[in-house]
Chain A
Amino acid sequence: MNANNSWFQQSNLRIFFLLFLACLFIYLDSFNQKYFKSTKAIINDVVGYSSYLITWPIKEVLNIPGYVINIATLKKEDDYLRILKEEKQKLISDNNFLMQENQKIQRFVQEEKTYQNQTIPAKVILKVNKITTSTMIINKGARDGIKIGNPVVKNNNLIGQISEANYKSSRVMLLTDINSNIPVLIGDLLVQGILQGDPSVKRKFNIAYLPKDFKLNSRDNIYTSDIDGILKQGIVVGKISDVKYDGNTKKQSYKIDFNYKLHQIDYVSVFVN
């Protein structure tokens, strides 16, 4: 049979078939993942690693000015100091946390030990910042023991949750993602709230469902809560800063400081307990 006369080459049939296939994919992906999970995982793995290979040379070329500047400014020494500072911050955060939780200290210490024993290090292969999502793709997947919902941390700070586990890669939904809703505990009183990703505001977060008239304080720490039964309690999320309260509107503005710079993250740890 002549290739030009095959059914697939006939324009209307081809269009209909591809439109049908796209709609079928949407349906299977959104409502009936059971039959589509394996196919999707394979496609995601192939696309993720291929994209990493394609973009790697471009990123390296674009990084050259950064390398030159780093060499010129003795970046290594700077990095060493930064690591020391991060370690110090981490110790301070841990200490504050333990002081606030003096009623439950033994339980949390046990959890910290559990985290240390059940962590998988992973390399970030892609960072995606789009109108619909804010995610990262890491090089560890279901075959390495990663499951949907596992918390992902950097410098002992939560950066997101696993939202998709393929065979050899996983998607991390960052805290800034519009679909991210993390139950948190805030400040000395461990007030409950929900940290929601919100790309429409500059800080890209909102703390929702706080008690009425509750005022945030600068330097209040934010920890995860186990109220949803998915995350473990007590993982450090960040620290509140620059709180400003408007008496007329009764609204407060604030920032959240993190112990990392998201775009500089190359490696992360996934809690798999």
Chain B
Amino acid sequence: MIRKKSDHQEFLGIALVLLSILSTTIVAQFSLDLNLYKFFNTTYLLIYFFTFNTYKYFSFFSMFVMGLISDSISGIPFGTSSLAYMTIYKIAFFQETIKLRTVFLSEWIALGTALFIAYTIVLITLYLSGASFDLVIHMYNFIGSFVLYPFIWFILKFLLPKYNKRKIND
């Protein structure tokens, strides 16, 4: 007997990432005063989580395409989010291959590194392209995303019903 994720469960990962990219447009429909976007970036966390847990549709290419979609919606230079997503993907992928996945702390610290590099890439790109940015808000966003990860991890790992692995016979 083997344990395997079904196709719709595999698809759920990439769908949630796409939804998180679009979530700002959905929230903005109801209030532009909600400043939740300032404090965390769920897209980064979801990419890290699903890559770390080896979801099928997560690859360098899908991260590149997701990044382009995000940049197109945000209006920042094309390729910025692609670089950030690919960095997070690569670090999560590496962390998964070195077999430290049972230790949550190492997963969390690796996320901190991935986020730091991703935010640095975004800020450097914005600076080089001449766009204005608020460094303090980006720092809040980095810290908020890092702190939020255990909660996201707990929700996705244990509470999301579709995440439960399905048992199938050989």
Chain A residues proximal to chain B, CB less than 8 Å = 14-15, 18-19, 21-26, 28-31, 36, 40, 43-44, 47-48, 51, 54-55, 58-59, 62-63, 126-135, 163-164, 171, 173, 176, 178-179, 199-200, 262-263
Q: Is the CB of B37 within 8 A of A263?
A: no
Q: Is the CB of A43 within 8 A of B27?
A: no
B164 at the interface (CB under 8 A from A): no
Q: Is the CB of B131 within 8 A of A179?
A: yes
Q: Separation in Å of the A243 CB from the closest CB of chain B?
A: 21
Q: Is the CB of A43 within 8 A of B28?
A: no
Contacting residue for A22 out of B24, B29, B72, B86, CB 8 A: B86
Contacts of B159 in A (CB 8 A): none
B161 at the interface (CB under 8 A from A): no
Q: Is the CB of B38 within 8 A of A131?
A: yes
Q: Is the CB of A26 within 8 A of B79?
A: yes
The listed residue with most A CB atoms (<10 A of its CB), out of B30, B79, B90, is B79
Contacts of B41 in A (CB 8 A): 131
With A18-B60, A54-B22, A132-B133: A47-B73 Cβ-Cβ less than 8 Å? yes
Contacting residue for A135 out of B27, B75, B141, CB 8 A: B75
With A44-B72, A129-B37: A200-B134 Cβ-Cβ less than 8 Å? yes
Known: A26-B80, A127-B25, A263-B31. 20 other contacts (CB 8 A): A15-B60, A18-B61, A19-B86, A23-B83, A26-B128, A30-B125, A31-B129, A40-B78, A44-B72, A48-B72, A54-B22, A62-B29, A129-B24, A129-B37, A130-B24, A131-B37, A133-B76, A134-B32, A199-B134, A263-B28
Q: Is the CB of B73 within 8 A of A51?
A: yes
Contacting residue for B129 out of A18, A24, A26, A130, CB 8 A: A26
* Docked CA distance A47–B138 (Å): 25
The number of chain B residues touching the other chain, given as a range, is 35 or more
The listed residue with most A CB atoms (<10 A of its CB), out of B25, B125, B132, is B25
- Taking CB atoms and an 8 Å cut-off, the chain B residues in 8-35 that contact chain A are 18, 22, 24-33, 35
Chain B residues proximal to chain A, CB less than 8 Å = 18, 22, 24-33, 35, 37-38, 41, 60-61, 64, 67-69, 72-80, 82-83, 86, 90, 122, 125-126, 128-134, 136-138, 141
Q: Is the CB of A131 within 8 A of B138?
A: yes
* Docked CA distance A195–B80 (Å): 28
The listed residue with most B CB atoms (<10 A of its CB), out of A25, A128, A131, A133, is A131
* Docked CA distance A265–B108 (Å): 41
Q: Is the CB of A55 within 8 A of B22?
A: yes
Contacts of A18 in B (CB 8 A): 60-61, 64, 82, 86
* Docked CA distance A262–B18 (Å): 25
Contacting residue for A43 out of B35, B68, B90, B133, CB 8 A: B68
With A18-B61, A22-B83: A133-B78 Cβ-Cβ less than 8 Å? no
The listed residue with most A CB atoms (<10 A of its CB), out of B122, B129, B132, is B132
Q: Is the CB of B75 within 8 A of A171?
A: yes
Q: Separation in Å of the B37 CB from the closest CB of chain A?
A: 6
* Docked CA distance A21–B67 (Å): 12
Q: Is the CB of B79 within 8 A of A22?
A: yes
Q: Is the CB of B27 within 8 A of A26?
A: no
Contacts of B35 in A (CB 8 A): 199
Q: Is the CB of B75 within 8 A of A128?
A: yes
